[in-house]
């Protein structure tokens, strides 16, 4: 087996290792009795289960949506597609013991948005194949989040993502105002060189990748043609995202480490969602070949996931950046939060014969620190006013 084949097999094995405890528990409708809840605040039990579902599926979705010519992988994909649909049913059925909180307090706005993002990324496997009963429950659950307002931060995109999913589901009362407000406000928060501020003040963290740029891209991809002013945003949003993906690729050290900067470090390699998404979209800047992104991310995944303490004795993720480090978790972090790490696996939605999965290549930092020939880095020039 060639290294690139081994890499894909390793990604699949790691993704399914992460996914198995929550998906198997949800399929049996025993998530709330099985899942440990590690957190600093007792109230996180009200939110952690929806966190686990929405965040896990948003990373798995592109792989679920892409039929695979390899019979063994296709059987695996179909099995996990069924598990994910059963998980959605368990979490949105008011009669289920695992029915999740969509209506109490503010946090459900966040994770209903991640679930919505998964539905957009896998419209066949995670929406069209649902029974009508389950679709009705999903729509009702998403609408329950409308009773509260998001904060004046990246949370505006959570409300927008939920409305985008309702539009995609054919709901006539989807709210364009929530989408318009989020889009226009984030255009005002753009700082330059591919980066947005998270609210009025800039935060040095990975939220451009955890939330902001992936959601901007997929909201506009889904609904951007509804209004001319939204359509005009699509090209600059993607150009900015490509630049930020280039910055992210350069952050990965020769050893597969990256700077532990900012909040939410317990999402681990979910910090590279945007780089993974731009690779999935096959829109990397010309100075980057797809294989170098695969090799870089594989090294990050290995460096992170193989640290002792990353999983508990039953296979659930523990709080930490590299291993079990409870002190890394902010007060809003709990066990379910950690499953946003699955966002690194988006390129599994590319077929095995795609250039991403072919050949070996050193990434930028590895070239830089070995004395090899490398491309210089350039800032993104200012774009015309939107």
Average pLDDT over residues 295-319: 98
Please determine, for residue 51, whether its predicted confidence score (pLDDT) is greater than 50.
yes
Query: pLDDT digit string (tens) for 226-244?
Result: 999 999 999 999 999 999 9
Nearest to 386 by CA among 240, 245, 278: 240
The DSSP secondary structure of 259-311, one letter per residue, reads ---SS-GGGGGGGGHHHHHHHHTT---TT--HHHHHHHHHHHHHHHHTSTTSB
pTM of the predicted model over 0.75: yes
Residue that the structure tokens 């969602």 belong to: 273
Distance CA 99, CA 55 (A): 16
Distance CA 207, CA 256 (A): 20
pLDDT band with cut points at 50, 70 and 90 for residue 2: low
pLDDT band with cut points at 50, 70 and 90 for residue 383: confident
Beta strand 195-196 with 190-192 is antiparallel
pLDDT of residue 382: 85
Distance CA 223, CA 219 (A): 6
Distance CA 91, CA 85 (A): 10
> Buried (b) or exposed (e) across 276-288, using 16+ Cβ within 10 A?
bbbbbbeebeeeb
Average pLDDT over residues 111-128: 98
Longest dimension (CA), the chain: 62
Average pLDDT over residues 40-64: 97
Three-state DSSP class for 349?
helix
Mean residue pLDDT of the chain comes to 97
Please determine, for residue 354, whether its predicted confidence score (pLDDT) is greater than 80.
yes
Query: pLDDT digit string (tens) for 359-373?
Result: 999 999 999 999 999
**Token pair listed for 334:** 């709990």
Hey, what domains does the chain have and what are their CATH numbers? 3-368 (1.50.10)
CA dist 94 → 25, 100, 102, 291, 306 (Å): 17, 8, 11, 45, 38
Phi, psi dihedral angles at 339 (to 5 degrees): -75, 0
The answer to whether 43 touches 336, Cβ cutoff 8 Å, is no
Nearest to 162 by CA among 208, 102, 225: 102
pLDDT of residue 101: 98
Distance CA 348, CA 371 (A): 32
Three-state DSSP class for 204?
coil
Average pLDDT over residues 61-68: 98
Please determine, for residue 3, whether its predicted confidence score (pLDDT) is greater than 90.
no
Please determine, for residue 119, whether its predicted confidence score (pLDDT) is greater than 50.
yes
Average pLDDT over residues 259-278: 98
User: What percent of the chain has a predicted confidence (pLDDT) above 90?
Assistant: 97
**How many Cβ atoms sit within 10 Å of the Cβ of residue 252?**
26
Query: pLDDT digit string (tens) for 323-349?
Result: 999 999 999 999 999 999 999 999 999
**Token pair listed for 245:** 């993906």
**Token pair listed for 252:** 């990965």
The residue count of the chain comes to 386
Nearest to 134 by CA among 180, 72, 183, 92: 92
Write the Ramachandran bin of 261: left for phi over 0, alpha for psi from -120 to 50, otherwise beta: beta
Please determine, for residue 202, whether its predicted confidence score (pLDDT) is greater than 70.
yes
Distance CA 61, CA 44 (A): 25
- Which helix H or strand E contains 190, and what residues bound it? strand 190-192
Residue that the structure tokens 């659950």 belong to: 141
Distance CA 159, CA 177 (A): 10
Distance CA 310, CA 313 (A): 10
List of residues 6+ apart from 184 with CB closer than 8 A: none
- Which helix H or strand E contains 138, and what residues bound it? helix 132-144
User: What percent of the chain has a predicted confidence (pLDDT) above 70?
Assistant: 98
Query: pLDDT digit string (tens) for 66-104?
Result: 999 999 999 999 999 999 999 999 999 999 999 999 999
pLDDT of residue 65: 98
């Amino acid at each position: 087996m060639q290294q690139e084949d081994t890499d894909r097999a390793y990604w699949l094995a790691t993704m399914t290792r992460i996914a198995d405890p929550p998906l198997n528990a949800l399929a049996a409708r025993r998530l709330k009795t099985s899942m440990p809840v590690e957190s600093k605040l007792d109230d996180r039990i009200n939110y952690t289960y929806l966190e686990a579902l929405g965040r896990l599926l948003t990373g798995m979705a592109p792989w679920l949506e892409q039929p695979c010519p390899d019979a063994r992988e296709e059987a695996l994909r179909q099995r996990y597609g069924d598990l994910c649909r059963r998980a959605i049913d368990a979490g949105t059925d008011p009669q289920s013991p695992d029915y999740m909180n969509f209506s109490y307090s503010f946090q459900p706005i966040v994770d209903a948005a991640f679930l919505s993002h998964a539905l957009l990324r896998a419209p066949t496997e995670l929406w069209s194949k649902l029974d009508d009963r389950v679709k009705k429950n999903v729509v009702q659950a998403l609408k329950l989040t409308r009773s509260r307002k998001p904060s004046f931060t990246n949370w505006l995109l959570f409300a927008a993502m939920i409305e985008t999913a309702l539009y995609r589901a054919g709901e006539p009362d989807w709210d364009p105002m929530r989408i318009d407000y989020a889009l226009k406000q984030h255009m005002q928060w753009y700082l330059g060189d591919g980066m947005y501020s998270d609210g009025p003040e800039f935060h040095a963290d990975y939220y451009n990748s955890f939330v902001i740029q992936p959601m901007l891209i997929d909201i506009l991809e889904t609904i951007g043609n509804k209004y001319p002013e939204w359509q005009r945003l699509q090209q600059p949003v993607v150009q900015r995202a490509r630049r930020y993906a280039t910055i992210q690729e350069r952050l990965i050290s020769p050893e597969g480490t990256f700077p532990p900067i900012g909040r939410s470090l317990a999402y681990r390699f979910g910090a590279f969602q945007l780089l993974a998404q731009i690779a999935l979209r096959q829109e990397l800047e010309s100075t980057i070949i797809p294989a170098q992104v695969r090799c870089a991310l594989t090294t990050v995944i290995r460096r992170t996931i193989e640290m002792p303490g990353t999983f508990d004795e039953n296979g659930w993720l523990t709080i930490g950046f590299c291993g079990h480090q409870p002190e890394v978790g902010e007060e809003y972090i709990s066990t379910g939060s950690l499953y946003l790490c699955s966002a690194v696996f988006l390129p599994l939605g590319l077929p095995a014969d795609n250039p991403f999965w072919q050949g070996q290549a050193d990434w930028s930092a590895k070239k830089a620190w070995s004395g090899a020939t490398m491309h210089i880095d350039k800032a993104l020039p200012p774009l015309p006013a939107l």
